[in-house]
Chain A
Amino acid sequence: MAISEKRAILTKNELISMYKEMLLIRTFEEKAAEMYTRGKIGGFLHLYSGQEAVAVGFISALRPDDYVIGAYREHGQCIAKGTDPKYVMAELFGKVTGISKGKGGSMHLFDIEKGFLGGHGIVGGGMPLAVGVGLAIKYKKEDKVCICFFGDGAVNEGAFHEAMNMVALWKLPVIYVLENNLYGMGTPVYRASSIPDLIRRASCYDIEREQVDGMDVLAVRDTAERSIRLAREHSEPRFVEAITYRYRGHSVADPGQYRTKEEIEEWRKRDPIVRMERYLKENLFITDDDLIAIRDEVNAKVQEAVDFAESSPFPPPDALYEDVYA
């Protein structure tokens, strides 16, 4: 890899903001789980708890006008891209004030103003879309980039291979971020992929690639800086595999009996939020009081999101036939 390994230099404010963002996503997700069990949220609810460092590490390195495409575990990515959590929570509640006016739900969050291009419920489905976004960026001679997040299940879809080939062939500014949380629903990677070392999937397309500890937000941020620079300055794609873990099942309805408690505990020891807390205390002299203040602020924001969702109306009957066509 020709790319420099130099660490991104981050200010104290940037570091705190990354910590706060991860904590916000975690708190939001745990609150969403509670709301699901109380019957406030329907359908599928795929939570991001454990994977926060990936979204925050990458998206914090973007410009506001850059694009992000997610899959169906995308609440954290949407929030990291700048959407107010109250609009996300309202969407989960199916309310008209939701980011997709209650038409999308958990798997279909969109915030076009913020450059968040969805929320796609078909495994691998967002990957070809990113090719088109990259093509448009290059055609318009912009210096934006597009990050496309997907899970380990997607690497076995045809869409993955078609998209990787085209993005490399056309040298488009797209960063494909594989969030390898070790399970495609309940099936571990080694039972689904002939090459369990998934980073190698990029090699046959000759795409610059890198593997990163997805539980370490600073490592992810470093990788993100390098990848984004490559895409932005040289209009080249990049493939990153972030090794991460979801604490909960595939969705809230999944008790996750295909994994052991011990395995989950092992991963919790590497928790990205706890690690970041330690880093802030040791390197930036952040005190416990400071952390409590941040926690209070985050809790208040999530409670505000729930209150907003609760008090918002459902879409009116007329909305049923709206927005089928432009």
Chain B
Amino acid sequence: MAQTITYREALNQALREEMRRDSNILVLGEDVAAYGGAFKVTEGLLQEFGPERVIDTPISEEAIAGTGIGAAMVGLRPVVEMMTINFTTLAMDQIVNHAAKLRYMSGGQIKIPLVIRAAQAAGLQLGAQHSQNLESWYAHVPGLKVVAPSVPADAKGLLKSAIRDDNPVMFIEHEALYNTKGDVPDDEYLTPLAKAEVKRQGKDVTIISYLRTLILAMKAAEHLADIGIDAEVVDVRTLRPLDTETIVGSVKKTHRAVIVEEDWKSVGMGAEISARILEGAFDYLDAPVMRVALAEVPMPYSKPLEQLAVPLQDDIVMAVRQIMGKA
């Protein structure tokens, strides 16, 4: 049996189930308790677990991250909500210089079982300071894990796995996905970290994506099927460590790859995935790897301009048609 729930509810269920299981798990962040979270992901947790475990913090991103790290150093398993990834820029020192490094620098004496949840999005008319996708910043850093679910079932299973993982995990959610629905198993389950998933089988081309653009890729694949192109869709799910095997395996089968990302093309996740494909499947490629990504601009507010900047379903279809020689 399965239940059909939203991405938001899936995340909420993951937090509830894990907090019931392990009293070392605390949730902290700006407005996570009384307010229920800026995106309502933590709604109801205060009522069930009380103010000692669901903690509203001041607006102090660096100290929030540091508090999570410090508490993790001495045995708790905090889940920190950073509201949006844009604000994690204020916590970069704690995330990059501390969370990612303490285990290595201490010769393995420390573990940091910490999850930092942050939402991101492009295309919601929030302007340049609230419309960034910074996953590649964090995926660049050894010592961090970076997770990015696209559907409710993965959102729940991956968050549960992230909470149980003994490493610092940047758990990136997508603001435009919170209300999307999907089937989620009724029973307890975990979705493994560092494992991509083939979300749609196909033989002509592999479309590789994650978060919202994965949903667009699935829709594009349906459209492509109508015109006789059979696309395989790989959901990366974890950006670091990257599951090269699944990605390369798919490209070896289809001989073509289109990578779709909502971050900037330069030095983005797509660049990394593309390089992995070239390293692992160069001889199998029938065409150059293509990337569909965000325009290289700070996000404009005005709707028509914003729509020009973000990757759309049609952009994916066009890229696939081009790589198939059917433009």
Contacts and interface: CB of A to CB of B under 8 A. Distances in A.
B239 to A, nearest CB: 15
Contact of A129 (B73, B105, B106, B113): B73
Contact of B106 (A100, A127, A136): A100
A125 interface: yes
Interface in B105-157: 105-113, 142-143, 145
B167 A139 contact: no
A165 B62 CA distance: 12
A325 interface: yes
Nearest to A96: B107
A159 to B, nearest CB: 5
A119 to B, nearest CB: 7
A133 B112 CA distance: 12
* 3 cross-chain pairs, A with B, having the tightest CB-CB distances, nearest first: A128-B66, A132-B70, A101-B107
Given A128-B94, A166-B57, A133 B70 contact: yes
Contacts, number: 146
A169 B28 CA distance: 15
B158 to A, nearest CB: 17
B103 interface: yes
A158 B62 contact: yes
A35 interface: no
A310 to B, nearest CB: 20
B321 interface: no
B105 A104 contact: yes
A85 interface: no
B60 A162 contact: yes
**How many residues of A sit at the interface, in one of the four size bands?**
35 or more
A128 B70 contact: yes
A325 B141 CA distance: 12
A48 interface: no
Interface of A: 67, 98-104, 108, 110-113, 117-122, 125, 127-137, 139-140, 158-159, 162-163, 165-166, 169, 322-326
B102 interface: yes
A135 B76 CA distance: 10
Contacts of B142: 324
Given A118-B105, A125-B94, A130-B70, 10 more contacts: A100-B107, A117-B74, A127-B63, A128-B63, A129-B67, A132-B71, A135-B26, A140-B75, A325-B143, A326-B111
A119 B105 contact: yes
B247 interface: no
Contacts of B78: 132
Nearest to A142: B74
Nearest to B143: A324
Contact of A118 (B57, B75, B102): B102
Contacts of A165: 58, 60, 63
Nearest to B112: A326
25 contacts: A104-B105, A110-B107, A112-B106, A118-B105, A118-B106, A119-B105, A122-B97, A125-B97, A127-B63, A128-B63, A129-B70, A130-B70, A131-B66, A132-B67, A132-B68, A132-B70, A132-B73, A135-B26, A135-B76, A136-B76, A137-B74, A162-B58, A166-B57, A323-B104, A326-B167
A112 B67 contact: no
Interface in B74-89: 74-76, 78
B72 interface: yes
A217 B87 CA distance: 43
Contacts of A99: 107
Contact of B103 (A119, A120, A163, A325): A325
Contact of B108 (A136, A137, A159, A322): A322
Contacts of A136: 70-71, 74-76
B222 interface: no
A99 B68 CA distance: 24
B109 A159 contact: no
B65 interface: yes
B220 interface: no
B292 interface: no
B181 interface: no
Contacts of A100: 105-107, 109
Contacts of B53: 139
B106 A163 contact: no
